[in-house]
Amino acid sequence: MKKADINQYGNLKNSSLADVKYKKENNFKIIFKLILTVFTIFATTGMIVGMYLISYIISMSSEKIDYDLRAMKLQLTSQIYILDENGKFKEYDSVHHSEDRIWVDFKDIPDAMKNAIIAIEDKRFESHNGVDWIRTFSAVSHLFGSGSSYGGSTITQQTIKNLTEDNEVSLTRKIREIFRSINMENEYSKDEILEAYLNAVNFGSGCRGVQASAKNYFNKDISECSIAQCAAIAGITKNPAAYNPLIFPENNKKRRELVLSEMYNQGKISKQEYDDAIEESKNMTFGKVSDTDEEEVSEKWIYNWYVDAMLKEVVDDLNTRLELGRQSAWEMLCRQGLKIYCAMDENTQKAAESVIRDPNIMPKDEKLELGYIMMDFDGRVLASLGSREEKKGNLWRDRANDRQSRRQPGSAIKPLGVYAPAIDSELCHYSSFISNEKIPNFYGAGNPGPNNWDNSSGGEVFTFKAISRSLNIPAVRTLEKLTSMKSYEFLTKKLGFTSLEESDIHAPVALSLGGMAHGVTPKEMTAGFQIFGNGGIYHKPYKYFYITDRNGKVLLDNRNQVGIQAIKPETATIMNRLLTNVVQSGTGTSAAISGWRIGGKTGTTNNDNDAYFVGFSPYSVAGLWLGYEPAKKINQATTTTNIIWREIMKKFLSGKPSKDYPSNSNVVERSFCATTGKIATNRCPIGGTGYYASSNMPPVCNLHPGDYSTPPKKEEPSPQEPKEPENPAPGNDAEQPNIAQPNGENNTENTQQNQAEQ
């Protein structure tokens, strides 16, 4: 081998060594960069998270609850105001608390009771600023360790917890509670906080506060209780169920003797007092459970249905918006001198009440129940009836508002669940043809469906016909195009329905024919129909304008409520016309009121077990449900419901100036061809006047070529649906003919009713 060749190999060897060294250095740099990158990511993430946590904690530093402890002590009566005929507020009623809940002033609570609670619940109460940091850090360590709750709360924190009823086990809740406690101690003295705690804490057997406990367990005032008896009461707070002396006397004995031991060890009682109390504890006797009044509002004052529903709404809003527990919300409502500016229209409420007491209007069977609500187009509830029964108590079951009183709406759901969102999505229009062919295997086992009330099927029908005649097949066919999911989302996200279940998405008749899992409330239905008279805007219904505390601070306010544009204004105008057809010439003719363009939709369920009418005038929208409990057939369900609704609305409209609904300028009025449903030419057989969004116009008819027809000057009812005269009120249902029947629905609008609602 040549020398040159050997040198060449030598160079390669040195080169290889250099490459290896380079690769090692390069790998090290890569690993270093990777570690540095990971560290940087973690550091940056940590900084971001840290800044977020700091920002979050700072944002919570002003956390407090809008609850006046001093007002609790004053036992102030809350006042209700309503608008008079001149638009000024006048005193209407007041809210009274049941008499068995008596506040005890701090000076009248014996030192033994105060010391017993402090000794067992919060021994550093008199020295901390609302938070015992030693116990708090221990509680947090338990939270991260075992994930269980730990008793690190001070009396101040427990007062907060009693007011909010917030028992969530989380770091967020703990931080929120800490700042609320610190802020409470900055606002109130220790004595005020301890006084509030002793008057509000749960002592078992339905007793809240030391006075109720002393009466229940020892049949005496708290001021007369001995040290041992005070220890027995104080021992209950840790677990009112487990340490109730009437149910578990041995548990209470062990607990009260622990309380006595802590009182002695902390120097709150002498040795002699301790020995005497232990001796008394050995043979302690208790009274028996007294009957406790669970209702917070005194039965001596009977409110009408509206005020009753409003008080429930106030408590709900105090609970959700101010984060108060329901018990504290009732206490606040009844004891703190609130000023409640009620939204009720007094004359409308009286009119509704007078109609349901008129034997010439109402069915003779007094067991036939109802739920009724009327509101304006901004969500203000004007009148509300929870039953036809005369109220003889408070906080009764309310069939217009309570979620527990849901019933099936039948075909009344069609405008909300099907046609409004379908027209809004431009899946159909006023004179679209919709299939009236039954769906194969709709009921399973090869059975087609659904059925129309008149047993008609086959071919196609116009949209306006399907709605005015309340046909089931076209509604289900339209829902197929829209999809149940979009219908469900529209009802729940745009129209505020809370009573629907996810299972309703999968039921073929739930959202199109009203066969839901549990049904809906008249309040939900009526609020939904707002959109057909106000340009498509949904407003959450409310029964009070605003509420202030005793010092005038606004606590809750509905005056500046912003609505949701649920459907386009064009759709609202079109649906308004479609639903006025229902009353002019369809199933709702018995709800017509002379001189007014009334719109609405009827609804009945299988065997006429439920009947609905939800309708509107230019001034308001109202919904009425009729039915038995338990459910059974209603005689002349549709006509009876329509007439009761009509008579209330007639009284409401009496004396009001003429008015029409808002109309959108993008809606055009055209004659349509009776053969094709398209815009008619001058050679077409005219099917009627249609209303169309300019963006969703049907094409010009090409079956009968000619010039466009001009819009008719006068609206005429469809020739196939002759207008029916206003009906007289029914007397005995069994004798009154169903005069709406030829153009209306009979007993089978909903063809697949949930069996639980039959």
Q: Kindly give the residue spans of alpha helices, DSSP state H, lying in 345-425.
A: 346-356, 414, 420-424
Residue 525: which of 568, 566, 481, 495 has the closest Cα? 495
Question: Which of 19-33, 385-399, 579-593 has the highest average model confidence (pLDDT)?
Answer: 579-593
Q: Residue 487 burial by CB count (10 A; 0-12/13-18/19+): exposed, middle or buried?
A: buried
Please name the residues in contact with 200: beta carbons below 8 A apart, sequence gap of 6 or more: 72, 159, 162, 163, 208, 209, 328, 331
> Does the structure show a pLDDT above 90 at 153?
no
Residue 186: which of 280, 61, 272 has the closest Cα? 61
DSSP collapsed to 3 states, 653-674: HCCCCCCCCCCCCCEEEEEEEC
Whole-model pTM over 0.85:
no
Which one is predicted more confidently, 448 or 17? 448
> Does the structure show a pLDDT above 50 at 757?
no
Predicted pLDDT of residue 728: 33
CA distances from 689 to 535, 670, 714, 720 (A): 21, 6, 9, 13
| CB-CB contact of 349 with 648 (8 Å) | no
Sign of CA dihedral 377, 379, 381, 384: positive
> Does the structure show a pLDDT above 90 at 18?
no
Which one is predicted more confidently, 563 or 169? 563
| CB-CB contact of 503 with 619 (8 Å) | no
Residue 294: which of 214, 236, 207, 211 has the closest Cα? 207
- Two tokens at 710? 């001009």
- Two tokens at 494? 């745009």
3-class DSSP state of 624: strand
Q: How many CB atoms lie within 10 A of CB 729?
A: 18
- Two tokens at 632? 């059974």
Let me know how long the chain is: 758
Predicted pLDDT of residue 6: 44
Predicted pLDDT of residue 138: 67
3-class DSSP state of 491: helix
- Two tokens at 480? 């197929």
Residue 692: which of 668, 664, 718, 711 has the closest Cα? 668
pLDDT for 57-109, tens place per residue? 665 566 777 788 888 787 788 999 999 999 999 999 998 765 445 689 999 99
CA 428 to chain centre: 32
pLDDT for 348-406, tens place per residue? 999 999 999 999 999 999 999 999 999 999 999 999 999 999 888 888 999 999 999 99
Strands 339-342 and 686-693: unpaired
